[in-house]
């Protein structure tokens, strides 16, 4: 099976357009970009002859074969292996909320749907919700109704959103919020369904949701206790 992954690339902000152009040439057309700040110490920066830089962080869904071609192109064209140029990595996806969303995120990548990720038996998963700005509370209210904890919000700008009408029946705005929620795997499907029902494509939020397996956690004691109380 051609598995799906979340590709995350971190590069200097000045190089963001080069990365996005490269992604689009390799059939990665739906990408979210947010801003970050490098944290390398001055001694390390001096060692490599670098300056402290502001970063662009991109998120895209890719198949393994597309990742291989993108990785090769980044090494060849952007020299990503040179220190200070950028880094990129992939994380396996375990599920995506809805066939239309799957088609939108993998357009042009020749994806063949199959079983969920081999890491589907993990105790926790990270839900990633992509929605129009201004609807975080609606999303979190829906998630909390199914015993989800708190979430973390990032503001991002989308590229390739205009092609959503082909798959979803309407266009999406470029300004987005990304909400990250760690949930117990046993409750994941209920929480995803609640978000899609109350903040999904039929609402103003226009939320897209998918999940990533979490192989280790710290600071989840309260969520574990809440789960134990629910099981009693």
Domain end, chosen from 92, 117, 141, is at 92
Cα–Cα distance, 150 to 181 (Å, whole number): 7
Q: Does residue 33 sit in the same domain as residue 126?
A: no
Q: Does residue 53 sit in the same domain as residue 82?
A: yes
Bridge partners of 6, per DSSP, are: 61, 91
Q: Does residue 124 sit in the same domain as residue 67?
A: no
Give pLDDT tens digits for 169-195.
877 888 999 999 999 899 999 999 999
Of these ranges, 57-71, 111-125, 211-225, the one predicted with the greatest mean pLDDT is 57-71
Closest CA to 91 of 182, 176, 3, 187: 3
Q: Does residue 21 sit in the same domain as residue 115?
A: no
pLDDT class of 114 with cuts at 50, 70, 90: low
Q: Cβ(210)–Cβ(97) under 8 Å? A: yes
Q: Does residue 74 sit in the same domain as residue 103?
A: no
First CA to last CA across the chain, in angstroms?
A: 39
Q: CA angle at residue 14 from 13 to 16, to 5 degrees?
A: 60
pTM: 0.81
Q: Does residue 63 sit in the same domain as residue 26?
A: yes
State the average pLDDT over residues 144-162: 90
Q: Does residue 112 sit in the same domain as residue 226?
A: yes
Q: Does residue 168 sit in the same domain as residue 132?
A: yes
DSSP E strands in 120-207: the ranges are 124-132, 152-159, 175-184
Q: Cβ(182)–Cβ(214) under 8 Å? A: yes
Domain that holds residue 41: 4-92
Which position has the higher pLDDT, 81 or 112? Answer: 81
* Other Cβ atoms within 10 Å of 14 Cβ, number: 10
**Both tokens assigned to 117:** 């990720």
Q: Does residue 133 sit in the same domain as residue 63?
A: no
Q: Does residue 135 sit in the same domain as residue 164?
A: yes
Q: Does residue 48 sit in the same domain as residue 123?
A: no
Cα–Cα distance, 156 to 128 (Å, whole number): 13
Cα–Cα distance, 58 to 156 (Å, whole number): 9
**Cα 197 from chain centroid (whole Å):** 20
Residue 232 has pLDDT above 60, yes or no: no
Sign of CA dihedral 166, 167, 171, 172: negative
Domain end, chosen from 72, 92, 112, is at 92
Q: Does residue 31 sit in the same domain as residue 68?
A: yes
Domain CATH number, residue 161: 3.30.70.120
User: Count of domains in the chain?
Assistant: 2
């Amino acid at each position: 099976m051609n598995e799906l992954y979340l590709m995350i690339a971190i590069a200097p902000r000045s190089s963001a357009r080069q990365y996005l152009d490269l992604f689009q040439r390799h059939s990665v057309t739906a990408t979210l970009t947010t801003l970050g700040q490098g944290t390398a110490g001055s001694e390390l920066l001096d060692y490599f002859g670098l300056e402290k830089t502001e970063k662009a962080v991109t998120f895209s869904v890719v198949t393994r074969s597309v990742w291989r071609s993108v990785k090769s192109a980044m090494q060849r064209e952007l020299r990503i292996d040179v220190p200070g140029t950028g880094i990129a990595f992939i994380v396996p996806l375990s599920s995506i909320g809805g066939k239309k969303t799957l088609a939108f995120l993998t357009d042009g990548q020749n994806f063949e749907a199959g079983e969920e990720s081999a890491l589907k038996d993990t105790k926790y998963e990270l839900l990633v919700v992509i929605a129009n700005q201004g609807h975080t509370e609606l999303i979190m209210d829906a998630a909390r109704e199914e015993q989800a904890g708190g979430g973390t919000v990032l503001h991002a700008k989308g590229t390739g959103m205009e092609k959503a009408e082909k798959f979803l029946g309407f266009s999406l705005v470029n300004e987005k919020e990304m909400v990250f929620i760690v949930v117990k795997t046993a409750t994941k499907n209920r929480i995803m369904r609640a978000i899609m029902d109350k903040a999904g494509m039929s609402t103003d939020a226009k939320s897209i949701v998918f999940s990533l397996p979490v192989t280790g956690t710290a600071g989840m004691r309260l969520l574990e206790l809440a789960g134990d109380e629910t099981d009693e």
